[in-house]
Amino acid sequence: MQHEQRERLPGVGKGLYRKVAEGAGIVVMLTIFVILVGLREAHGQTGGSRDTTGQGDDQTLAQQRYRFDLPEQSLLYSLGEFTAITNISVLRPDDRAIGGVAPALQGEMTADEALRALLMGSGLAVEYRNARTAELVEPRPATMTTVGDQVMFSTLTVTAGRLGDDWVYHEPRSVSVIPRERIDRLPPRHAADMLLETPGVYSAVNTQDPALSVNIRGMQDFGRVNTMIDGMRQNFNENAHQQRNGNLYVDSELLSEVVVAKGPTSDVHGAGAIAGSANFRTLDYDDIIMDGNDAGVRLRANTGLGGEGNGVNFIGSLAAAGRFGDNRLELLGARSRRSLGEYSPGRRGESFDWLMVGVQDGFEGRDSEQVVDRVKFTDQTQESNLFKARLNLTPNQALQFTYLDTEISYNNVSDRRVTNPSDGSVREGDEAWLQYGDAQASSHSIGLDYTFNPGSDWIDLAARVYRVSTENERYTREGRPVITDGINMTEEAWRTGRCDQVPFPDNWQRECEAGLGSNAVTNITTHGLTLENTARFALGGVDGFRFNHGIEYFQDRGDSNTEYDHHGSAVNTAVSTLQPNGRRSIASAFGNLVWENETYTLGGGLRYDYYRLKGDTRVPGVEWNYITRQEQFDARFSPEEQQMLRDMGWYDYYYNLNWIAPKWEAEYAYYEYEVNNREDNLLPTLQAAYRPTDWLELFAGWGESWRPPALTESLMEGSHPSDPFAVMFPNPYAEPETSRSWEVGFNTVFQNLLLDNDRLLSKVAYYDTEVDNYLITSMVNIMPGRVGGLGRTMFVNNQVPMKFRGIELELDYDARRWYTRLNYTHVLGGDQNFCQYARPLGSHYPRYDMPDEDGNFSEEHQWAIDNGYDSYEDYLDQQVICAAGGAAAQFGMNSARNVPMDRGSWVLGMRLFDERLDMGTRLNYSAEGKPEDFEYAIWPSYTTWDLYASYRINQNVLLRASVENLRDQNYVTGYSDIFSRTYAPGRTAMAGVELQF
């Protein structure tokens, strides 16, 4: 039956739409204005230098004298040390890498003299935007040094010209970078391993599943974190455990760095992201081409070492790049392979207490000492390809094509199975997981980027169009059968032909579905475009203004298909796929105005987002039919029998019996929904920073954001694979989440603190986010016209705010001979509170509000009216259920049910033999995680140690070795998938070689 959808914006009048339209119009008009003015400015320039008046104020730091003692080394490293000494940030705004070798620099000189000396022979010139920022540019015909209006770093993206990860300590907001050097120290087995040293970042990792889910400050999935590869959104979401519903497939071998930004923003990557973003940047040309060359090849190979290899077969890649035609054309190609097998968990400190904690509640008293010597079904292979082509059209504009694909084969595996449900005995360790079937995943990303920087303060333009298609295919064998009184009712249903009907009979539906195998293919394709420009100007004679503005649009298209079989024979069935079909799009216009001088930074931004979701879905419901007394009487007695009753004088007696009284009857059916949801929002942000000294920067930020529902939340319906008792239902009434976030923090930069030319950098931030309408995974929902029960799972809005608070620390000390790095996340607050409507789609239970044939209403109807409700159905619609902590059994699959635990890491290393040898250790710590009322932790606390070393034989050959989990600790990674319950790997030794020519 066709079901009318609820009104999406009740009570919203024209006034709000007028304000929204005006706000969007302002952003669009400002964008057009600055582009037009910039084009006029660019047309009027002939390549000469900018006005150099007012140079004195902007060069205060540049003219100060400093002592330098830098060896001949990579220009990139020398510039990093230059920034640490002088507090002058250096960047290259054209997105090209900084290569070459810098000469040795010794003695006392001004910062400007030192920078020019380092750039000698590099073909680069310097332009000071302000006292704290210098740009590296191609030399200009008239002059190589200009002073103009100031520029600010983008807070969410990083260009190749940024110097390692030092720049984050000059950024007045929470942002972290994971450089290639850090990734290489301990080669990641799982993509989530790259995130271990990043404060505030977690992952609900499952080592049997290669997909990566990024959690920032306790929030993840469905776009709460905008995960990207080279700025291309990876919006694939497939319903998974612990609300791990936003999956990214990425190979660390093809990455240059990862940039993680936290909190809402008014920039090109902020649409729909309430937690922040993670941008995985792939290899660039200078990662492969060595200094002074026009072409280069890099070969990398890592493998496990003998019996300590612990399932690491091979991790490696081959890449080649070159520059042609006087550097007008740049090409890069790379291929990687990753082969992993099953592994052994640690053998030290094994505990079984955490197995006594169920997802819904504790199971104290049961025997849970399940010994696992091997984590099965973790074997997988991944092959990836990367191709880039960059055409430098002119010195001021470039066009780049990027193609990236990855293919992964792995296993479709059950949850952790501890006890046998038939007798309560503990399963053998080899039976802890059951393989349902094979699984394959593939992802293809294609992008075209255009940059234009004509030397005008009004234009610094970047545009991108892209397409990302991700597909996952899983085969699931028949699930557990329905057993009644010891009889296999599933086998009986199929044997007797009851499952031959389409659809399955209502009274045999679960029994029939339990006998189905399925091959589910889920595809989500994202088409997107971005356009942004940065204009720099003065207002009222005051320099230092920057206006970043632009638009973003992306659309997700879900296309799913499931084929079923019974013991290998194809079956036509009306059972629906568990993944949705439909379209979801967001269009965004943004503007962010910032003013900065040497002491202060002030900024404000505004974003307008428009969202639309369109698709078809269905939910089970009922049709109510009123059966009159006469209709019931006629159904029970034929005309002849009625005449006989009249002749006998019994007609009136039977006609007025209670069992044929008028009544409402429910006929089970499906409500068909044609979903066409539209929403929009205006979202402001503010930022400020104060630099009282050259070593301290205080910063603060505030912003609003939102996240409209995803395809899966609004449209998904079907049975849980292998478990007919768990059924997923869509929520076409899901409302957008809205958030308010603020943070305060500080950056410090010290030079010559303990030793000459050492540096100490730190970033500390306190964050506080409150989210309304947070969509949670509820497992007890009452369907329209029906009763409730465990297993009716749906994404529903939390009716109480959810809060995420904590403190993050990053500290980096480097004295060249030795170095240390510390990061820690301290999470504040306790269990989240959850409240939801018991009937999220409405009760659709009007039987008590319908008058009988005599016009009388029921007692339930009158009670509801007396208590202030419009009807008894209205009373049912407004019923709310609440829970918190361990009592929130119905919210067991929600990733935000528990706040993340405290976590940190400490790296201590040394560089010896003219820095050819780099060796060190890493300590990893995770506090326990659990609801406050649980006796045992879901994620027990642990501490592990790792070792790493690399030795550079010459400029072409580098050897590496590492040992992870040195003490062979038995543990489960903090915040990992609470259903799969896979142990982390035990002691694992790897060695590798890197050749570069």
Stretch among 183-192, 209-218, 350-359, 804-813 having the lowest mean pLDDT: 350-359
pLDDT of residue 893: 57
Q: What are the residues facing 312 on neighbouring strands? A: 340
pLDDT of residue 433: 87
Tokens of 32: 């057009």
HSE-CB for 211 with a 13 A CA cutoff = 30
Q: What is the mean pLDDT of the chain?
A: 84
pLDDT of residue 284: 94
Mean pLDDT of 187-216: 92
Q: What are phi and psi of 877, to 5 degrees?
A: -65, -30
32, pLDDT greater than 60: no
What is the per-residue pLDDT across 329-374, written as a single tens digit (0 to 9) for each? 999 999 999 999 999 999 998 877 777 665 443 444 455 688 889 9
pLDDT of residue 586: 96
* Strand stretches in 209-271, DSSP E: 215-216, 219-220, 225-229, 232-233, 255-262
Distances (CA, A) of 433 to 183, 312, 473: 31, 21, 20
Which domains can be identified in the chain, with CATH numbers?
14-176 (3.55.50.30), 177-479+515-622+669-839+879-996 (2.40.170.20)
pLDDT of residue 505: 82
What is the per-residue pLDDT across 691-719, written as a single tens digit (0 to 9) for each? 999 899 999 999 999 999 988 888 877 66
What is the per-residue pLDDT across 917-946, written as a single tens digit (0 to 9) for each? 999 999 999 999 888 878 788 889 999 999
What is the per-residue pLDDT across 602-638, written as a single tens digit (0 to 9) for each? 999 999 999 999 988 888 788 888 888 888 888 889 9
* Strand stretches in 358-396, DSSP E: 380-394
Tokens of 673: 């929904």
Q: What is the 3-state secondary structure (H, E, C) of 163-205?
A: CCCHHHHHCCCCEEEEEHHHHHHCCCCCHHHHHCCCCCEECCC
How far apart (Å, rounded) are the C-alpha atoms in residues 46 and 142?
A: 10
Q: What are the residues facing 588 on neighbouring strands? A: 552, 609
At 559 the three-state DSSP class reads strand
Burial category of 638 from C-beta neighbours within 10 Å (exposed 0-12, middle 13-18, buried 19 and up): exposed
How far apart (Å, rounded) are the C-alpha atoms in residues 79 and 63?
A: 17
Residue 863 contacts residue 911 (beta carbons within 8 Å):
no
What is the per-residue pLDDT across 510-547, written as a single tens digit (0 to 9) for each? 888 888 888 888 889 999 999 999 999 999 889 999 99
What is the per-residue pLDDT across 566-598, written as a single tens digit (0 to 9) for each? 887 888 765 555 556 789 999 999 999 999 998
Nearest C-alpha neighbor of 839 from the set 619, 568, 569, 593: 619
What is the per-residue pLDDT across 247-266, written as a single tens digit (0 to 9) for each? 889 999 999 999 999 999 99
Distances (CA, A) of 546 to 373, 542, 593, 632: 59, 12, 6, 78
Beta-strand relationship, 723-728 and 517-539: unpaired
Q: pTM for this one?
A: 0.83
Mean pLDDT of 478-496: 86
How far apart (Å, rounded) are the C-alpha atoms in residues 909 and 819?
A: 5
How far apart (Å, rounded) are the C-alpha atoms in residues 241 and 723?
A: 14
Give the pLDDT band of residue 875 (cuts 50, 70, 90).
very high
Mean pLDDT of 376-382: 94
549, pLDDT greater than 50: yes
Q: What is the 3-state secondary structure (H, E, C) of 648-716?
A: HCCHHHHHCCHHHCCEEEEEEEEEEEEEEEEEEEEEEEEEEEECCCCCEEEEEEEEEEEECCCHHHHHC
What is the per-residue pLDDT across 14-25, written as a single tens digit (0 to 9) for each? 444 444 444 444
